[in-house]
């Protein structure tokens, strides 16, 4: 379908059917293949996204300040059209006496141009960026340096596509005055990089999720102008997607470690991710798959390939047979938000990976194919939420694929 005609059809739907304001539209196979992988940016030693986060970053330490500077600098230099805000708070902890420990939540948003506060609802992607105080020198690669890097990649991968979409809407003359007609884009993308998730002594209601508690309270009392679609900053969150403990091979060393669906009200989003996972696996776009071409090649000298293996599944809980939901079973940064009525999609494996809170939770124990796959999956989910079909750079991806095919052909010769 002609892109201009497709956009006009979308605008007509918005004008006549307000329910489409929160539509979720699957992207095509061509667009799915166009989603870039993080590649060298996730190198644990030199990658410009992930490597700077793989240091101890306990609140109140020099490491915290270093990583905070990295996060802010990335968005200000790589993604200048995104709004970056730091929400600061302090708190006493069980191990620091009367000293107030600083916590810094990084809030990054991309709004449609010309919109006003209170008119945009967000897909809010969340991970915590602090690390645990003990054991000494703890890195916390899956907990949660890698999830933070995945979200940074998602924002960068979709930035140009969002710009193209909003420019196309503007070309059709859809202005701010058309909000009342339901013609303007009302959806934005938001990242919450939370500080102070880890306990300083032993996890408890008081000693944990310091940053999340402070931010949820502030967002609840940050009111938008009267008659806004969303009355406060908290209400602007249409879906809160929390990533934690991601970057290991699911089931490695613990075959029962899988990705459950925790909340009934967001099971639809869980199923959307499951569908995307299946599509990516079926199209050989998951590098961690045992059936990915790179895994099936017997050797670099041989063209023989291993037989196809049973494809693993992260999102196994699609057809939930019971009404037993595990929401609330795992305590995490979502708690102060769900207590205030925010819809939560919690992406955390259960049982936890074996490296959880161990010194071995470092860069060397990440599975880089898995990290890249999560980055692609979250980018695809956000692209569908933002309805970016037709705006992803499929031509660039096709050129990369052709170049790669040419290299492989030459090497085989």
As annotated, the active-site residues are 197, 244
Instruction: State the burial class of residue 27 (Cβ atoms within 10 Å of its Cβ: 0-12, 13-18, 19+).
Output: buried
Angle formed by the axes of helices 368-385 and 146-171, nearest 10°: 30
Q: Please give the Cα distance from 184 to 197 (Å, whole number).
A: 37
Q: What is the tally of helices (H) and strands (E) in the chain?
A: 10, 6
Q: For residue 100, what are the CA distances in angstroms to 20, 27, 95, 103, 105? A: 46, 47, 11, 10, 16
CA nearest to 312, candidates 295, 327, 297, 299: 295
What is the CB-side half-sphere exposure of residue 278 using CA atoms within 13 A? 9
Q: Please give the Cα distance from 345 to 341 (Å, whole number).
A: 13
* Residue 200 CB neighbours (<10 A): 22
Q: Please give the Cα distance from 9 to 4 (Å, whole number).
A: 9
């Amino acid at each position: 379908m002609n892109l201009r005609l497709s956009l006009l059809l979308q605008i007509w739907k918005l004008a006549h059917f307000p329910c489409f304001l929160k539509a979720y539209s699957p992207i095509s196979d061509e667009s799915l293949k166009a989603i870039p992988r993080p590649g060298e940016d996730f190198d644990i030693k030199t990658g410009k996204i992930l490597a700077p986060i793989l240091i101890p970053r306990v609140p109140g330490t020099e490491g915290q300040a270093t990583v905070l500077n990295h996060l802010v600098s990335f968005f200000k230099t790589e993604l200048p059209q995104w709004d970056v805000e730091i929400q600061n708070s302090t708190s006493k902890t069980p191990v620091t006496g009367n000293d107030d420990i600083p916590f810094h939540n990084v809030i990054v948003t991309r709004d449609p141009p010309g919109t006003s506060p209170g008119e945009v609802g967000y897909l809010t992607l969340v991970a915590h960026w602090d690390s645990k105080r003990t054991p000494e020198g703890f890195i916390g690669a899956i907990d949660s340096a890698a999830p933070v890097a995945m979200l940074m990649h998602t924002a960068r991968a979709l930035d140009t596509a969002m710009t193209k979409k909003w420019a196309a809407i503007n070309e059709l003359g859809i202005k701010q005055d058309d909000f009342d007609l339901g013609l303007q884009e009302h959806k934005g993308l938001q990242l919450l990089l939370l500080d102070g998730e880890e306990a300083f002594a032993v996890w408890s209601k008081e000693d944990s999720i310091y940053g999340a508690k402070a931010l949820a309270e502030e967002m609840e009392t940050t009111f938008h102008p009267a008659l806004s679609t969303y009355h406060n900053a908290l209400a602007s969150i249409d879906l809160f997607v929390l990533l934690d403990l991601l970057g290991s091979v699911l089931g490695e060393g613990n075959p029962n470690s899988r990705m459950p669906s925790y909340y009934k009200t967001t099971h639809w989003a869980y199923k959307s991710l499951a569908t995307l996972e299946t599509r990516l696996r079926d199209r050989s776009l998951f590098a961690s798959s045992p059936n990915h071409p790179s895994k099936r090649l017997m050797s670099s000298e041989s063209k023989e390939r291993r037989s196809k293996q049973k494809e693993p599944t992260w999102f196994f809980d699609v057809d939930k047979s019971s009404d037993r939901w595990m929401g609330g079973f795992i305590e995490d940064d979502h708690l102060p938000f769900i207590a205030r009525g925010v819809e939560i999609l919690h992406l955390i494996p259960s049982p936890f990976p074996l490296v959880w809170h161990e010194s071995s939770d470092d860069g060397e124990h990440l599975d880089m194919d898995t990290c890249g796959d999560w980055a692609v999956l979250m980018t695809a989910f956000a692209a569908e939420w933002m309805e970016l079909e037709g705006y992803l750079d499929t031509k660039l991806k096709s050129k990369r694929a052709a170049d790669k095919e040419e290299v492989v052909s030459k090497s085989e010769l």
